[in-house]
Amino acid sequence: MNNELIIEIDNLTVDYPTENESVRALDGVDLKIYQHDFICVLGPSGCGKSTLLNVIAGFTLPSDGSFLMQGQPVAGPDSQRGVVFQSASLYPWMSVRKNVEFGPKIKGLPAVEINRIASHYLDQVHLLEVADQPPFQLSGGMKQRVALARALANEPAILLLDEPFGALDALTRIHMRQLVRKIWQEDQNTIFMITHDVDEALSLGTRLLVMSKSPGTIIREFSVAFCDRVDQRTGRVHVDADYLARREEILDLIDV
Amino acid sequence: MQNKKDFNKNHRMLTLLTWAFIFLVWFIITRFNLVSHLIVPSPGEVIQTFIAIVTDGYNGISLWEHLGISMLRLLIASVLAIVTAVPLGLFSGYFSKVGAVVDSIVQFYRPLPPLAYYVALILWLGIDESSKITLLYLAAFAPIYIACVAAVANIRVEYLLSAKSLGASGKDLFFQIVFPACLPDIFTSIRTAVGVAYTTLVSAEMIAATSGLGWMVIDASRYLKSSVIFVGIIIMGISGVLIDQGLKALEKKIVFWKGYQ
Ligand SMILES: Nc1ncnc2c1ncn2[C@@H]1O[C@H](COP(=O)(O)OP(=O)(O)OP(=O)(O)O)[C@@H](O)[C@H]1O
Ligand SMILES: [Mg+2]
């Protein structure tokens, strides 16, 4: 790894307080994220994937252990870490363009610059022609593309995606993967993505993290490079014995 | 869509039939003298009284003045309630400390019958406009305030979290996310509030008024002018519906995303 270290998580523990006793969602998680990593997190439901993402986002504070971003502790959410949720959280009272302009506007950039950024990212997700529509008129896939553009418009150091394609149909999902892969290659972003789809993880990620439930922690990490072997035209990975072996291995780990 | 159209058409037909039935019953009751004219005037009498009031006014004051003064009281009280209850309610929902201060006061006076505190208001503010408008104001304040507090609590967490991740905080978060996210509920509560204020109008105009629709009805009751009472009630009913329709049209325009959150 000769890329810059962005995030350093050390022995992270998260307890959720409940009525009787607290629930330990994460237990001793260690993770280093470097510039241009594409991390895909897999694991059974309830193993703490979203909790880990929420800690990185700044929504949840660690109960124990440390979480440093570019060497600094994180006190809460800020524009350095962009988030896309499973269901689009677009603001229905703003047009698509205004949604994307939200971050740059908060930053107080000049109007011309705000406009240029919004047009650039809307173009990147192929949605320039619906820029002036309200978001509720769009399809599910289009909404997620707007959410992606909105997060990208801030040019965050890392992009956090919590099952971003989980609610989409299979074909739309393949298109979304292609789009995210292209953006990641062009813009050299750093991405942390949760998915429950092993093929999705294998076809996108450079590092796959597999988590287990109780204790909620990372049990294996795989470095993969199947994303370099994607058919440019169909967007599908060329499946070979190596790929199938990895796939089996990961499924076995999740299935216990 | 064709089905929906038929459905609406059917419903409108039912509404019309209901009213036709009410008029028919009214007509029959009075036509065959089933009850005294002093208690239920006939439709003909009511129409005559209406024409008389439209042309000559009531008690030397034209109908438009009666209607106008009532609407002015309602308007001033509603506007005051909106500009105070919305910010206070949103702050109370957003900052729990503000809520701890204001909530209990609103909860205390809200279930009181308006007439009970109207007496106190007259004692403090005198018998002229200010006590009347304050009464209507208090009636309109509570529903808006309570709806705003609840609306803040019901904002989708993702709206707030993604705004924070986009760099918003403090003022930006409040004015650009919290306020618009609550707007649909605010509008619904304004419609309720104006309705509630309207129902207290008669109480407000009962004491020490010399004009206004409510006063007209009260005054007519003293002299058993039942047809005037009927005219007053019908005008109040129709104007109430018209006000609500107006607010509904405004709501549709401003909160165009209602139902899509
Ligand atoms: N706010 C909360 N309060 C209490 N317990 C919580 C809370 N959020 C999550 N948990 C618990 O923490 C554990 C991890 O939850 P988390 O949402 O991180 O799992 P996940 O891996 O994202 O699951 P899924 O794949 O279903 O989204 C679960 O046991 C869950 O019940
Ligand atoms: Mg989750």
Distance A47 CA to ligand 1 centre (A): 7
pLDDT (tens digit per residue) in B20-45: 999 999 989 888 888 888 888 988 89
> What's the CATH code of the domain at A40?
3.40.50.300
The model's pLDDT over A87-136, given as tens digits with 9 standing for 90+, comes to 878 999 999 999 999 999 999 999 999 999 999 999 999 999 999 999 99
Q: CB of A230 within 8 A of CB of A198?
A: no
Question: B44-254 maps to which CATH number?
Answer: 1.10.3720.10
For helices B63-94 and B129-153, the axis angle rounded to 10 degrees is 40
Of B156, B158, B166, the CB nearest to A103: B166
In this model, does residue A73 exceed pLDDT 60? yes
- From A83, A92, A134, residue closest to B165, measured CB to CB: A83
Is ligand 1 within 6 A of the CB of residue A42?
Answer: no
CA distance B161 to chain A (A): 7
What are the residue boundaries of the structural domains of chain B, listed by start? 1-34, 44-254
Q: What is the DSSP string of B214-232?
A: HHHHHHHHHTT-HHHHHHH
For residue A147, being part of any structural domain is answered with no
Is A206 near ligand 1, meaning CB less than 6 Å away?
no
CA distance B163 to B101: 28
A interface test, pick of B161, B162, B254 with most A CB neighbours within 10 Å: B162
**Chain B: residue whose CA lies nearest to A137:** B260
Determine, yes or no, domain membership for A192.
yes
Q: State yes or no: pLDDT of A166 exceeds 70.
A: yes
Is A90 a domain residue? Answer: no
Please check the confidence at residue A256 and state whether its pLDDT lies above 80: no
Q: What is the DSSP string of A119-147?
A: HHHHHHTT-GGGTTS-GGGS-HHHHHHHH
pTM of the model: 0.88
Domain count of the fold of chain A: 1
Distance in angstroms (rounded) separating the CA atoms of residues B74 and B72: 5
The pLDDT value recorded for residue B150 is 95
- Asked whether A152 and A123 are in contact (CB, 8 A), the reply is no
- Mean pLDDT on A59-71: 93
The whole-angstrom separation of Cα A112 and Cα A106 is: 14
Which residues is A160 bridged to in the sheet? A83, A192
Provide, as residue numbers in chain B, all residues whose Cβ is less than 8 Å from the Cβ of A93.
180-181, 183, 257
> Cβ distance A210 to A26 under 8 Å?
no
- Check pocket membership of A48 for ligand 1, CB cut-off 6 A: yes
- Please judge whether B166 and A154 are an interchain contact, meaning their C-beta atoms are less than 8 angstroms apart: yes
Q: What is the mean pLDDT of chain B?
A: 90
- Specify which residues A16 forms β-bridges with: A23
Give the C-alpha distances (Å, rounded to integers) separating B45 from B30, B226, B230: 10, 10, 10
Each residue of A170-187: pLDDT tens digit? 888 988 999 999 999 999
The CA A86 to ligand 2 mean position distance, Å, reads 9
B165 min Cα distance to partner chain A (Å): 5
Residues A173 and A165: beta-carbon distance below 8 Å: yes
Nearest Cα to A159, choosing from A121, A133, A215, A109? A121
Task: Evaluate whether A209 touches A187 at the Cβ level (below 8 Å).
Answer: no
SS3 category, A44? coil
Judge whether B230 and B41 are in contact, CB under 8 Å: yes
Do residues B167 and A79 lie in contact, with contact meaning Cβ atoms separated by under 8 Å?
yes
Q: Supply the residue whose CA is at minimum distance from atom 6 of ligand 1.
A: A16
Average pLDDT of the residues in B230-239: 91
Report pLDDT for A58: 95
Question: Which residue in B198, B78, B72 sits closest to B144, CA to CA?
Answer: B78
**Cα distance between residue A115 and residue A109, in whole Å:** 10
Domain that holds residue A160: 5-80+156-254
The residues on A that touch B, with CB distances below 8 Å, are 57-59, 76-79, 81-83, 85, 87, 89, 91-93, 102-103, 106-107, 134, 136, 147, 150-151, 154, 156
Size of interface A-B (CB pairs under 8 A): 66
